[in-house]
Amino acid sequence: MKLGTTIISSIEFTKRISLVIFMAECPLRCPFCHNGELIETGEEISSSEVFKIIDDNKDFVDAVVVSGGEPLSNSDDLKRILDYSKSLSLETKLDTSGVYPDRLKGVVNSIDYIAIDVKAPFDKYEKLTGTDISENVKKSIEIANNSENTYLECRTTYVPSLLSPKDIEEIAKNISCDEYTIQQFRNQNVFDNSLKNVENPNPNELKQIAKDIKKYFKVVKVKTAEFGCEFV
């Protein structure tokens, strides 16, 4: 499998300390992607080497998070990581764009927590990302919601030049999940360099948007560089 890097995090899995494994490769080319270096390239590494990384950290973490890139690009390798983590009684989380619902169906029973990136209102997907995967995302959300033991977070990165507060409300009205997160766009590391000139949204602006759409969800969060994850 192709791997990016690994980190220890206290914010990627709510109320858990987690080992985050970034798998390389993704079929999408979203202009605001902050992990663009993982889209095509990564270090070739064996499953046993990944298992050793997990073993080396298992006494210090509660969970393993697999992010990307798009982990479901290599769903067989992903399932090995998830199943090995579960065998060590570690909780598991998957970060995905929702692009591969059929592959998600094959691993969902190994996942405690899924975070699906809802990148735009469904009728604007192609305009904002260059690819209309809206039906795939809807199916992925449905699969996660139908999995009894899986917690679903949907999240949107708020890019001021591409999205408006009305767009966030449109997303909120058309999805169902346990938790919704508005993520702050950061212009330092983006796939499309023209977005480096877009100002990072103010945390207070994001909190106001979150308050406006809170009626649609049980839990709403805002994630910013300044304040980390905040419940609204």
Gap between the Cα atoms of 115 and 94, Å rounded: 6
- Contacts of 1 by beta carbon, 8 Å cutoff, 6+ apart: 23, 44, 45, 46, 47, 50, 74, 77
79-134 pLDDT per residue, tens: 999 999 999 999 999 999 999 999 999 999 999 999 999 999 999 999 988 899 99
Per-residue pLDDT of the chain (232 residues; tens, 9 = 90+): 889 899 999 989 989 999 999 999 999 988 888 877 777 778 899 999 999 999 999 999 999 999 999 999 999 999 999 999 999 999 999 999 999 999 999 999 999 999 999 999 999 999 988 899 999 999 999 999 999 999 999 999 999 999 999 999 999 999 999 999 999 999 887 888 888 889 999 999 999 999 999 999 999 999 999 998 999 9
Give dist(CA 185, CA 177) in Å, integer: 22
What would the two tokens of residue 147 be? 């999995």
Kindly state the tokens that stand for 143. 């699969």
Structural domains in the chain, CATH included, are 2-231 (3.20.20.70)
Q: What is the pTM of this model?
A: 0.94
> What backbone phi and psi angles, to 5 degrees, belong to 95?
-100, 125
Decide if 172 contacts 141 (C-beta within 8 A). Answer: no
